[in-house]
A and B are shown apart, each in its own frame.
Chain A
């Protein structure tokens, strides 16, 4: 059934709304990769069988991720006329209870995480209902307070596998409007007003890129969506596609129309099988509804979208390498200019934009550029999605207005480390970014402010580090990553990073000298300034920022052969305190190098020659005994039990 006009779209919208807000209870299980990883599939299946067993009139759907990954599996329950209620950490055995409650028109208010009375999908508002005073509104709980869902407008609410639910919340209306008005230059104008900047890392103005594409000569043009997200710790783009694939398609069709492209490609990591599956399904549905393919919405405009799965090279996220990869060549970047918008895929003008950039497009078209620019800062308007991970209590996808200080992420939204350990630094921008020390957490997150600190915003990875992270090791880790992902084309990156890595290895092994540290400071700027592509140009950032803000840790490793975080294996020795050891054999049993002597009820001893410094003994020695301790450069530390903080979703039960 092809949609050709507003009326037909309206008809589908009504049908979709009947599914999204049905006259019977609806139970939606968050089945993004994050949810599935925490057992959501089983929860979903349990709900399905429970409904079957009861013969209940309840709708069970799969949805994407509502952002709070630490609290997955998230399940939301919509009872007609009542607010949508979100449950966190749902276990299969709770399914029946939740279901019978829902059938009785209620929920366990003490068990619920939050509720939504009315949701602004930005392309349409859905009022679920009022009630359940015992449950906080979603934006009243710490994790969501201060968040603003523009990109994530449909996430975890609609069924990503059903185009009608997307249409139900106003989806594809921006596209219809665009094709009806037939004024592509107006779209560029709106983008200019919005001052939307590319979300792939560099923050290039989208309007400028699109305008130069529009003006580029030639009738064959391509638009590409960059979904090759490869930064360690970043998974925004994956969840975006998994949770709301149609926003991407709509954004791309609008973009293609604006720029005069008739073909589009989504270059997505093959390591994201669920995203690939849901996007393929969405493309097929959009084609079936006449929203993609030939003669879209009866406008005469045709646009074909295909999917290409990347083979796992980080550097293929760089746009010229991506083009080479798409053309069947090895994924190695080339110098720009010429930019892809002048000379891209197969030599034709090509616009490459990040997944999240495309997600902003339909909203800007429907609500206007001015509206968009009201959020965020003057130079960086809008919101940005970050994946907040590492030593943080509330891990998840966080969308906040640009300009939000780092402190808000770590303490207000993230809830700190979740134990008594202090946060040491925040790593932004992945392997191209830097480590920002705690003292600088008042820095607002935008492209310029982070660059000033020597880091970058990048695509949105945020890794929190605490006192158990060694900053030398962090720098070493990221250089190891870029070193192994370097394409090898240019000397600066290929050989320069190899020397950096060798030096960092030396320092973390306690073999480093001051000259080594100085060599890093020499190599860094050279690699940054002379590398061919963004990979090499940004690869020194983790080294240079740690040297800048955590120099004392380098010096400690060099001068005192000490790793205060007890991370670098060569600098840490493990000992057993004879006074405390009860001779329980726990450590001796797990020791892979058989370095621990002493039999039952005998004090154990670690043979330092044999010890491989894996730390297994430390992790099995009961915290109540705490006989195993570590030593590094003259300081010692016992194992201390990590005190788990209370989970957000488990409030005290009211008796």
Chain B
């Protein structure tokens, strides 16, 4: 269905494929929209709330990743309010768990860190919550550090949608939400995990990492995951 639609993003006319998300269309047109939970090819979920944009006619901001383009749509990706909200959300993320870059395997190649600096956020105005969270090092190849998890569910989706293993899920609710392997067992004891490592590659932070990496040594290849997911036809929302 090569149906084209025309929309206006920040005053410029942009062509997009019908059914495409506003995020994809805007990015294809060279716009910067921050996001952390989105990986092209995986089902968009709208969890991180960083990609909020303003759509003319809709009173509240909409997440670009889960909003489908429509002919004649008028969108702004920048405004004073959006910037403020994005900065606040970034601060909420930084304050939620224990993001201590200096001791993190992903320091220097962390999407959370990059995004914070792109948004000009150097620290959180909200008090840090400093929760005590466990580290699951039971897996032979990988390690899960809940302290660094931002609950973006990229791992959950890549595991379910690309690998088909459904090892990951989110348990509990609210601030007590936690990533859980199988029925909340040790990752190493998981009967479904195929050890493919796609979750690690998809993880935007140092929460999922290859065992044995020291500070700053962990780099991720999210693009490869995205290509795989897209090549499989992606998942419709």
CB within 8 Å for A494 and B151 given contacts A334-B45, A486-B173 = yes
Verify A492–B177 contact, CB threshold 8 A. Answer: no
- B contact residues around A526 at 8 Å (CB): 84-85, 88-89
A537 to B59, CA, bound (A): 12
- B contact residues around A522 at 8 Å (CB): 88
- B contact residues around A495 at 8 Å (CB): 92-93, 95-96, 175
CB within 8 Å for A335 and B175 given contacts A526-B85, A530-B49 = no
Verify A488–B176 contact, CB threshold 8 A. Answer: yes
Chain B 83-125: CB-based contact to A (< 8 A → 1; otherwise 0)? 0110011001101100000000000000000000000000001
Chain B 30-50: CB-based contact to A (< 8 A → 1; otherwise 0)? 000000000000000111110
Please give the distance in Å from A85's CB to the nearest CB on chain B. 50
The interface stretch among A7-15, A250-258, A283-291, A496-504 is A496-504
- B contact residues around A337 at 8 Å (CB): 68
A378 to B169, CA, bound (A): 48
Tell me, yes or no, whether B134 is within 8 Å of chain A by CB. Answer: no
Taking CB atoms and an 8 Å cut-off, the chain A residues in 494-535 that contact chain B are: 494-499, 502, 519, 522-523, 526, 528-532
Contact partner, A523, options B46, B66, B88, Cβ 8 Å: B88
- Quick one: which of B67, B88, B89 has the most chain A CB within 10 A? B88
CB within 8 Å for A488 and B177 given contacts A530-B85, A530-B89 = yes
Verify B177–A494 contact, CB threshold 8 A. Answer: yes
Tell me, yes or no, whether A484 is within 8 Å of chain B by CB. Answer: yes
Tell me, yes or no, whether B73 is within 8 Å of chain A by CB. Answer: no
Verify B49–A532 contact, CB threshold 8 A. Answer: yes
Tell me, yes or no, whether B60 is within 8 Å of chain A by CB. Answer: yes
Tell me, yes or no, whether B186 is within 8 Å of chain A by CB. Answer: no
Please give the distance in Å from A203's CB to the nearest CB on chain B. 15
A453 to B81, CA, bound (A): 23
Binding site secondary structure of chain A: helix
Tell me, yes or no, whether B174 is within 8 Å of chain A by CB. Answer: yes
Verify A490–B88 contact, CB threshold 8 A. Answer: no
A490 to B169, CA, bound (A): 15
Contact partner, B47, options A486, A489, A498, A537, Cβ 8 Å: A489
**Nearest residue in B to A537 (C-beta to C-beta)?**
B60
Tell me, yes or no, whether B129 is within 8 Å of chain A by CB. Answer: yes
- A contact residues around B129 at 8 Å (CB): 498
A414 to B172, CA, bound (A): 40
Contact partner, B174, options A484, A519, A531, A532, Cβ 8 Å: A484
Taking CB atoms and an 8 Å cut-off, the chain A residues in 50-68 that contact chain B are: none
Verify A488–B61 contact, CB threshold 8 A. Answer: no
Tell me, yes or no, whether A483 is within 8 Å of chain B by CB. Answer: yes
Verify B170–A335 contact, CB threshold 8 A. Answer: no
A483 to B129, CA, bound (A): 15
Tell me, yes or no, whether B23 is within 8 Å of chain A by CB. Answer: no
**Nearest residue in A to B46 (C-beta to C-beta)?**
A335
Tell me, yes or no, whether B127 is within 8 Å of chain A by CB. Answer: yes
Tell me, yes or no, whether A308 is within 8 Å of chain B by CB. Answer: no
A498 to B45, CA, bound (A): 21
Verify B92–A499 contact, CB threshold 8 A. Answer: yes
- B contact residues around A645 at 8 Å (CB): none
Verify A487–B174 contact, CB threshold 8 A. Answer: yes
Tell me, yes or no, whether B203 is within 8 Å of chain A by CB. Answer: no
Please give the distance in Å from A337's CB to the nearest CB on chain B. 7
Tell me, yes or no, whether A449 is within 8 Å of chain B by CB. Answer: no
Tell me, yes or no, whether A330 is within 8 Å of chain B by CB. Answer: yes
Tell me, yes or no, whether A422 is within 8 Å of chain B by CB. Answer: no
Tell me, yes or no, whether A491 is within 8 Å of chain B by CB. Answer: yes
A528 to B96, CA, bound (A): 19
Verify A488–B85 contact, CB threshold 8 A. Answer: no
Tell me, yes or no, whether A485 is within 8 Å of chain B by CB. Answer: yes
- B contact residues around A485 at 8 Å (CB): 173-174
Verify B66–A335 contact, CB threshold 8 A. Answer: yes
Please give the distance in Å from A554's CB to the nearest CB on chain B. 19
CB within 8 Å for A499 and B95 given contacts A488-B151, A488-B175, A492-B89 = yes
Please give the distance in Å from A81's CB to the nearest CB on chain B. 59
A502 to B52, CA, bound (A): 26
- Quick one: which of A499, A529, A532 has the most chain B CB within 10 A? A499
**Nearest residue in A to B172 (C-beta to C-beta)?**
A488
Tell me, yes or no, whether A338 is within 8 Å of chain B by CB. Answer: yes
- B contact residues around A488 at 8 Å (CB): 151, 170, 172-177
Chain A 519-557: CB-based contact to B (< 8 A → 1; otherwise 0)? 100110010111110000100000000000000000000
- B contact residues around A483 at 8 Å (CB): 174-175
A588 to B126, CA, bound (A): 43
Verify B170–A491 contact, CB threshold 8 A. Answer: no
- B contact residues around A487 at 8 Å (CB): 173-174, 177
A528 to B88, CA, bound (A): 13
CB within 8 Å for A496 and B92 given contacts A488-B177, A491-B49 = yes
Verify A532–B88 contact, CB threshold 8 A. Answer: no
**Nearest residue in B to A483 (C-beta to C-beta)?**
B174
Contact partner, A529, options B85, B92, B125, B150, Cβ 8 Å: B85
- A contact residues around B68 at 8 Å (CB): 337
**Nearest residue in B to A329 (C-beta to C-beta)?**
B169
Tell me, yes or no, whether B237 is within 8 Å of chain A by CB. Answer: yes
A102 to B66, CA, bound (A): 66
Tell me, yes or no, whether B63 is within 8 Å of chain A by CB. Answer: yes
* A to B CB contacts below 8 Å, 12 in the list: A337-B68, A486-B175, A487-B174, A488-B176, A490-B46, A491-B96, A494-B175, A495-B175, A498-B129, A526-B89, A529-B81, A530-B60
What 17 new A-B contacts, CB under 8 Å, besides A499-B95, A526-B89? A315-B173, A335-B67, A338-B237, A485-B174, A488-B173, A491-B49, A494-B96, A495-B92, A495-B96, A498-B96, A499-B126, A502-B127, A523-B88, A526-B85, A530-B85, A531-B49, A537-B60
Mark A residues whose CB is within 8 Å of B: 313, 315, 330, 334-335, 337-338, 483-492, 494-499, 502, 519, 522-523, 526, 528-532, 537
The list of the 7 closest CB pairs from A to B, nearest first, reads: A488-B177, A495-B92, A335-B66, A486-B174, A335-B46, A498-B175, A530-B49
